[in-house]
């Protein structure tokens, strides 16, 4: 998040204006309605003078009758103007919210994976939900206040000058003083708005954590701990909100108090004989009423600044995300369907901000159509290697080639189309089993194809028991399914994708041995005719691999076939013996 000082308010403001450009006509309608509203408000004050001087103290009673009709009309007109302005401004504002949300969403979709490693999803969500809303609400409010109250203030001042320019001058002594207060207050507003946004992000993050980890929290008796944690961010949010209320609530009476000096001065000056031209009762009343009526718009104007600050800060926070770099996609090479020949040489890799290297001097050749198994302790870099192949992270040191071309030279989408991935964490979308299987299939797929994939991955075994079969919903992130069932769907998805390179990253780890064996057949069929990289969980599943690569601490420490490695009696044979002993 940008610090206050670093926000270029002007630049952000001009950029924000571009969002409103497409809604010019609606804004003009709103603008006119606001002007009319402001004028009507002022005209009420103007008619105090004739009402009093002619109708009350004078002898033209009929003007009171006219006034009766006039009052009705005025309030009707005011109501209509109010409705039109509020409605159109909200219409524009909500369009801007929609547009910004869409942009943020698309932006986040295209951001590098590393961004999400270092930013909590809560803070990102809060940008989409909260910050955009703030932008629109604040800017609409600014426009409403600025135009409507601006017109009211100018008209009221004109009325004052019309009745007595000498007394009106008083306003210009008090005016700048009020301006000074506003500027002091707005600085504080700016600071607090920023803090509120941060606090809001923390509330979302904390809530999200609770919702995601609900079961673990229950299992590890973390209820109190989480409640405490939330209590602290929740309270921080409240404190910031109260600070804002405090600043806003104290500034209003203060400004009004300063304003009351103007009225006091007017009374005082008028009390001194011969100082100014004498005023009629109506003129005097209109003048005092105008001064009193200035208070409300002045108060609104003092809030404008706060709204403006809030809007711009929120806007800056939105733009900050929109300006983040996209995934690097400089390559231009396109391939219809690669052969699947992978080559890795002198590859080193560290995660951003991590001192330890995740991969060290990896050299590996994976010929087209071969099966390579990666084994090793957890944290040895197997998943990292798989991620680099699909360019979830960019490697800058060393080379990875697909069919002889550096993977960075491929167009990113095109490169990823060459892969089908079943990862450790199966992600399912809140949709039917069938649609989850069809997700990411290249081209159109028929129901039969989905059915075949489901059958091969042993999805039918459990989907047949569900009331709607393959069309049963999986629930949010597959909540209705077991880990093994989720993995089978993920495997079916990979089957259907039919890509030249298959990456199975502990794809069967959540399956029991029996189902794993059953699916193994499906996987073997799947691996035929394509390159496959299998991160194995149980060594028994990769004994037939063309090449077994043993990794440790980011390095390749052994390579060979099952037999060769056993014979060698190194790390692999140790792992093997350990697993055999466990059965």
Binding region for Mg ion (CB under 5 A) = 383
Backbone φ/ψ region at 569: left (φ over 0), alpha (ψ -120 to 50), beta: left
Q: Which residue, 286, 51, 259, is CA-closest to 160?
A: 286
Considering the complex, what minimum distance in angstroms separates the CB of residue 220 from ligand ADP? 22
Residue whose C-alpha is closest to residue 298's, from 157, 427, 423, 136:
157
* CB of 385 closer than 8 Å to CB of 363: no
348: Cα separation from own chain's centroid: 33
Q: Which is nearer to Mg ion, 316 or 523 (CB)?
A: 523
- Return d(Cα 497, Cα 331) in angstroms, integer: 23
354 interacts with ligand ADP by CB under 6 A? yes
List binders of ligand ADP among 96-125 (CB under 6 A): 117
Q: Are 476 and 430 in contact (CB under 8 A)?
A: yes
Residue 381 lies near ligand ADP (rule: CB under 6 A): yes
Q: Would you say 7 or 507 has its CB closer to Mg ion?
A: 507
Nearer to ligand ADP, 123 or 383 (CB): 383
For ligand ADP, the binding residue among 254, 351, 439, 462 (CB under 6 A) is 351
Coil, helix or strand at residue 203: helix
How far apart are the C-alpha atoms of 559 and 372, rounded to whole Å? 10
**Partner whose binding site includes residue 384, from ligand ADP, Mg ion, none (CB under 5 to 8 Å by kind):** ligand ADP
Which of ligand ADP, Mg ion, none is residue 439 near (CB under 5 to 8 Å by kind)? none
Q: Give the contacts of 221 (CB within 8 A, at least 6 positions apart).
A: none
CB-nearer residue toward ligand ADP: 286 or 502:
502
Q: Which of the stretches 61-69, 251-259, 323-331, 380-388 binds ligand ADP when contact is defined by CB under 6 A?
A: 380-388
Closest contact distance (angstroms) between CB of 26 and ligand ADP is 45
Q: Under rule CB under 6 A, how many of the chain's residues touch ligand ADP?
A: 12
Lateral strand order in the sheet of 397-402 = 359-366, 342-349, 397-402, 405-406
* DSSP symbol at 2: -
With binding defined as CB under 6 A, does residue 425 bind ligand ADP? no
**Can you tell me the distance from the alpha carbon of 573 to that of 575, in angstroms, rounded to the nearest whole number?**
5
In the complex, the smallest distance separating the C-beta of residue 384 from ligand ADP, rounded to whole angstroms, is: 3
Least separation, in Å, of the C-beta of 29 and ligand ADP?
A: 51
Answer for which of 197, 380, 436, 463 binds ligand ADP (CB under 6 A) is 380
- When binding is defined by CB under 6 A, the residue of 139, 205, 313, 383 that contacts ligand ADP is 383
**What residue has token string 């028994």?**
540
Query: Per this entry, what is the length of the chain?
Result: 583
Instruction: With contacts defined by CB under 6 A, name the span among 188-196, 316-324, 350-358, 405-413 that binds ligand ADP.
Output: 350-358
CB of 420 to ligand ADP, least distance (A): 18
Q: If binding is defined by CB under 6 A, does position 524 make contact with ligand ADP?
A: no
Please, where are the H alpha helices in 213-342?
214-219, 223-271, 281-322
By C-beta, is 325 or 467 nearer to ligand ADP? Answer: 325
9-20 vs 281-322: helix axis angle to the nearest 10? 90
Q: Are 534 and 373 in contact (CB under 8 A)?
A: yes
Coil vs helix vs strand at 223: helix
Q: What angle, 0 to 180 degrees and rounded to 10, lies between the N-to-C axes of helices 24-46 and 132-144?
A: 40
- Output the CA angle 269-271-275, nearest 5 degrees: 55
Nearest Cα neighbor of 311 from 433, 509, 146 is 146
> Between residues 53 and 506, which has the closer beta carbon with respect to Mg ion?
506
Among residues 186, 384, 418, 485, which is the contact residue for ligand ADP, using CB under 6 A?
A: 384
* The one among 48, 358, 453, 460 contacting ligand ADP by CB under 6 A: 358
Least distance to ligand ADP from the beta carbon of 118, Å?
8
Report the residue number, 203 or 386, with the smaller CB distance to Mg ion: 386
DSSP conformation class of 59 = S
- The reply to whether 562 sits near ligand ADP by the rule CB under 6 A is no
351 binding partner (options ligand ADP, Mg ion, none; Cβ < 5 to 8 Å by kind): ligand ADP
Residue list 36-95, contact with ligand ADP (CB under 6 A): none
Piece of the chain touching ligand ADP by CB under 6 A; list 18-26, 50-58, 253-261, 376-384: 376-384
Q: Considering only the C-alpha atoms of the chain, give the largest distance between any 2 of them, rounded to a whole number of Å.
A: 122
If one asks whether residue 190 binds ligand ADP (CB under 6 A), the answer comes out as no
Residue 89 touches which of ligand ADP, Mg ion, none (Cβ within 5-8 Å per kind): none
Least Cα distance to 270 among 261, 283, 281, 279 occurs for 279
Span from 207-215, 379-387, 396-404, 479-487 in contact with ligand ADP (CB under 6 A): 379-387
Residues at the contact surface with ligand ADP, assessed by CB under 6 A: 117, 351, 354, 358, 376, 378-384
């Amino acid at each position: 998040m940008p610090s206050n000082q670093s926000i270029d308010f002007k630049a952000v403001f001009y950029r924000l204006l571009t969002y409103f450009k497409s809604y010019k006509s609606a804004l003009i309608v709103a603008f006119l309605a606001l002007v009319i509203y402001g004028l009507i408000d002022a005209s009420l004050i103007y008619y105090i003078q004739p009402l009093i001087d002619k109708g009350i103290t004078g002898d033209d009673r009929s003007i009171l009758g006219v006034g009766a009709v006039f009052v009705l009309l005025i309030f009707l007109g005011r109501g209509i103007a109010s409705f039109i302005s509020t409605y159109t401004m909200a219409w524009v504002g909500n369009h801007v919210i929609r547009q910004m949300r869409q942009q943020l969403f698309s932006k986040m979709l295209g951001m590098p994976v590393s961004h999400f490693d270092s930013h909590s999803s809560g803070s990102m969500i809060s940008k989409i939900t909260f910050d955009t809303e703030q932008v629109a609400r604040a800017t609409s409010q600014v426009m409403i206040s600025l135009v409507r109250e601006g017109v009211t203030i100018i008209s009221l001042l004109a009325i004052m000058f019309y009745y007595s320019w000498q007394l009106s001058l008083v306003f210009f002594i008090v005016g700048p003083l009020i301006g000074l207060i506003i500027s002091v207050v707005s600085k504080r507003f700016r600071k607090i708005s920023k803090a509120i946004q941060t606090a809001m992000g923390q509330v979302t993050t904390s809530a999200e954590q609770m919702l995601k980890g609900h079961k673990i929290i229950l299992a590890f008796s973390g209820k109190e701990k989480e409640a405490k944690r939330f209590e602290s961010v929740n309270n921080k949010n409240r404190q910031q909100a109260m600070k804002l209320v405090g600043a806003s609530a104290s500034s209003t009476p203060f400004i009004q108090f300063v304003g009351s000096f103007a009225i006091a001065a007017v009374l005082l000056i008028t009390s001194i004989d011969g100082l100014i031209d004498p005023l009629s009762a109506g003129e005097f009343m209109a003048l005092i009423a105008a001064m009193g009526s200035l208070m409300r718009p002045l108060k609104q104007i003092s809030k404008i600044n706060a709204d403006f600050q809030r809007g711009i800060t929120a806007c800056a926070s939105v733009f900050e995300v929109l300006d983040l770099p996209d995934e690097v996609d400089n390559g231009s090479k396109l391939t219809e369907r690669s052969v699947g020949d992978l080559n890795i040489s002198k590859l080193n890799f560290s995660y951003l901000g991590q001192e330890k290297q995740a991969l060290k001097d990896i050299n590996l050749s994976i010929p087209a159509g071969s099966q390579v198994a990666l084994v090793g302790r957890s944290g040895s870099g197997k998943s990292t290697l798989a991620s680099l192949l699909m360019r979830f992270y960019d490697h800058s040191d060393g080379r990875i080639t697909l069919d002889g071309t550096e993977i960075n030279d491929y167009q990113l989408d095109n490169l990823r189309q060459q892969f089908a991935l079943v990862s450790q964490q199966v992600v399912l979308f809140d949709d039917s089993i069938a649609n989850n299987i069809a997700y990411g299939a290249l081209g159109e797929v028929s129901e039969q194809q989905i059915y075949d994939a489901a059958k091969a991955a042993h999805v039918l075994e459990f989907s047949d028991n569900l009331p709607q079969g393959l069309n049963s919903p999986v629930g949010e992130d597959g909540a209705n399914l077991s880990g093994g069932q989720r993995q089978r769907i993920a495997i079916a998805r990979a089957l259907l994708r039919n890509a030249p390179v298959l990456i199975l990253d502990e794809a069967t780890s959540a399956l029991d041995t029996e189902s794993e064996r059953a699916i193994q057949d499906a996987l073997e069929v799947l691996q035929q005719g394509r390159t496959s990289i299998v991160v194995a969980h149980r060594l028994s599943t990769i004994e037939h691999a063309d090449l077994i690569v043993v990794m440790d601490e980011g390095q390749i420490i052994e390579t060979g076939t099952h037999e060769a490695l056993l014979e060698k009696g190194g790390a692999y044979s140790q792992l093997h013996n350990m697993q055999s002993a466990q059965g």
